[in-house]
A and B are shown apart, each in its own frame.
Chain A
Amino acid sequence: MADLIVKAFQQALNLIINGDPSVYGTVYRSIYVAGLGTLLSCIWSIPIAVVLGLYNFRGKWVVKGFFNALIGIPTVALGLLLYLLLARHGEFGSLHLLYTLNGIAIGQAILVTPIIVSFTANALGNADTSLRDLAKTLGASGFRTDLTLIRETIWSMILSITAAFNRGFGELGIATIVGGSLVGETQVLTTAISVEINFGSFDIAMAYGIILMAIVIALALVIALVERIRSEDRPLNRFIMWRGLGGG
């Protein structure tokens, strides 16, 4: 086992250092679908989260509970549903999204929606209520007060978006069923691992796994570093510190 892990690390380093185009292509496609999926999801998830986090309405707890429950949705179940919708005779078959990277990205966008909605809505809901009063007493309108609260919780929002990206980046079900793992076309890191295991090439599968983990960890470290710099009085802060709304 230890030999396999050492060999896998060597294999991973070789694949990266030698600049194997197929590996870089697979990494690129993984980042592309997870990145596009997360970005797409942000378009609807953040407004939903803002409404859930900042406004009270009848049945709000039911909607929040619904999104919380969907966080753990099995990716194969969602993948199957999307397959049926995107297949040639499905409702959206005419879009020709099956076995495409964009099809996987759409699937991942749906998959990560509950993560962004739930985490962001909770952060906004737990925002310091005194900040709402402060904004109002300084003359902010309702809309600007909401913007201020969003700005105050932006870091939690970034963390929820990062978690969503990681969920998409590491999922297998949608990428396999909707993407089909076509080599050089729709194969991403997770499906590549699955394929290599089926071929019995455990060292290559491990190598892909190590690359996948390395990217997730590197992203987490970058976020943690930025957060650390942001929270301290450092000159670099001037570049990343939030300025008051309203220009200037």
Chain B
Amino acid sequence: MSVNLQLIDIKKSYPNVKALNSISLELEGGKIIVLLGVNGAGKTTLMRIMAGLENADSGQLLFNHQPIDCKAVRQVSTLVFQKAAMFSTTVYSNLAYGLRIRKVPKDEIKKKVADALQIVRLSGFEKRRAKKTSGGEQQRIALARAFLLEPHVLLLDEPTANLDPNSATIIEKAIVNKKSIDRIIVMATHNLTQARRIADEIVHINNGVIVEAAKTEDFFENPKSEISRKFVNGELEF
């Protein structure tokens, strides 16, 4: 049975800004779900709530049909940020951080780190200082760090934004290879080409509201809402 994450009537406001307004969504494992939307649409806020980094003002999260709180969500999900954050230490220690917390044996950590670095094509980077690597490399390190934890919900907030095509391709391939029935992959982007390439399903958010959720082909070939049609055609003003 695949994993399941349900968001029921999620609302979130900041002073003077209504970030999310009544978001309801059901996500299944084995798929890549792409959150599409213009800047400020609410994608990042939604990702942060799904990652347990922020509490919704109201609404509920269900994981495998059981209510789950912020703290518990963090045990099943991991978020890769748009701008990769790195601890001031080696690449190895950055990758090992989550595993050490989970008390994984040292030898196993070593092997897992080496394997994860190989997936993102950064073998041999273990002893480098993470903050001294390039932006593309840091994003790949961040991805490897998230992969290592084998999260049930892998959240990626525009992981290829501002990256060179080579790094973007490596990251995309690595993400696609991580598809599994016990993993939900959610990626936020406003890159339509990329979304079309890797998404199984598209969720289009605009002004904190889901305007359309559909299979990738249906969304691009036959968008049902006017806003989505304009967005796909690059006519949406924001």
Residues of A within 8 A of B (CB): 128, 130-131, 133-140, 144, 148, 152, 233, 237-238, 241-248
Chain A min CB distance to B216 (Å): 27
Shortest Cβ distance from residue A239 to the other chain B in the assembled complex, whole angstroms = 13
The 0/1 profile, CB within 8 Å of A marked 1, for residues 82-97 of chain B is: 0101011110011011
- Most B Cβ at <10 Å: residue of A137, A243, A246, A248: A137
Q: Which A residue sits closest to B105, measured CB to CB?
A: A248
Q: What would 7 more interface pairs be, CB under 8 Å, given A233-B132, A244-B96?
A: A130-B83, A131-B87, A135-B97, A139-B98, A242-B93, A246-B97, A246-B103
Query: With A139-B149, A248-B106 in contact, is A233–B74 under 8 Å at CB?
Result: no
Closest-by-CB residue of A relative to B73 is A137
Contact A244 B97 (CB under 8 A): yes
Q: Complex Cα distance A242/B89, Å?
A: 6
7 nearest interchain CB pairs?
A: A246-B100, A244-B93, A138-B98, A130-B85, A134-B85, A137-B79, A244-B97
> Would you call B102 an interface residue if the criterion is a C-beta within 8 Å of the partner chain's C-beta atoms?
yes
Complex contacts, B94 vs chain A, CB 8 Å: 244
Does the CB pair A136–B74 fall under 8 Å?
yes
Q: Give 1 or 0 for each of B61-82: 1 = CB within 8 Å of chain A CB.
A: 0000000000000110111010
What are 19 A-B contacts defined by CB distance under 8 Å?
A130-B85, A133-B48, A133-B81, A137-B52, A137-B53, A139-B101, A140-B101, A148-B87, A237-B129, A241-B129, A242-B88, A243-B89, A243-B93, A244-B89, A244-B96, A245-B97, A245-B100, A246-B97, A247-B106
Given A139-B101, A233-B129: A133 in contact with B85 (beta carbons within 8 A): yes
Counting CB contacts under 8 A, is B51 at the interface?
yes
Chain B residue at minimal CB-CB distance from A140: B101
Tell whether B128 is near chain A: CB-to-CB under 8 Å: yes
If A138-B145, A241-B90 touch, does A131 touch B100 (CB 8 Å cutoff)?
Answer: no
Q: From residue B230, how far is it (CB to closest CB) to chain A in Å?
A: 33
Q: Complex: how many Å from CA A75 to CA B74?
A: 50
Q: How far is the CA of A7 from the CA of B89 in the complex (A)?
A: 49
Tell me, yes or no, whether B109 is within 8 Å of chain A by CB: yes
Cross-chain contact of B101 among A152, A238, A246 (Cβ < 8 A):
A246
Q: Would A131 and B85 be within 8 Å (CB), given that A241-B90, A241-B129 are in contact?
A: yes
- Expressed in whole angstroms, the Cα–Cα distance for A131 and B94 within the complex equals 11
A146 to chain B, nearest CB (A): 14
Q: Are B87 and A134 in contact (CB under 8 A)?
A: yes
Count chain B CB atoms within 10 A of each CB in A128, A139, A242 and give the residue with the most: A139
Within the assembled complex, what's the spacing in Å between the Cα atoms of A244 and B78? 18
* Cβ–Cβ < 8 Å partners of B128 in chain A: 233
How would residues 209 to 226 of chain B score, 1 for a CB under 8 Å from any chain A CB and 0 otherwise?
Answer: 000000000000000000
Task: Find chain A residues with CB under 8 A from B145 CB.
Answer: 138
Q: Closest approach, in angstroms, between the C-beta of B154 and any C-beta of chain A?
A: 11
Q: Are A248 and B78 in contact (CB under 8 A)?
A: no
Task: Find out whether the CB atom of A241 lies under 8 angstroms from the CB atom of B81.
Answer: no
- Establish whether residues A248 and B96, one from each chain, have CB atoms under 8 Å apart when the complex forms: yes
Q: By the criterion CB–CB under 8 Å, are B81 and A138 in contact? A: no
A248 near B53 (CB under 8 angstroms)? no
Q: Which residues from B are CB-within-8-Å of A136? A: 52-53, 74
Query: Once bound together, how far apart are the Cα atoms of A239 and B88, in whole Å?
Result: 15
CB distance from B106 to the nearest CB of A (A): 5
Given the interface pairs A137-B53, A139-B101, the reply to whether A248 lies near B109 with Cβ below 8 Å is yes
> Closest CB of chain B to A109's CB: distance in Å?
30
Nearest CB in chain A: distance from B117 CB, A:
15
CA distance A244 to B102 in the complex (A): 13
Q: What's the least CB distance linking B141 to chain A, in Å?
A: 12
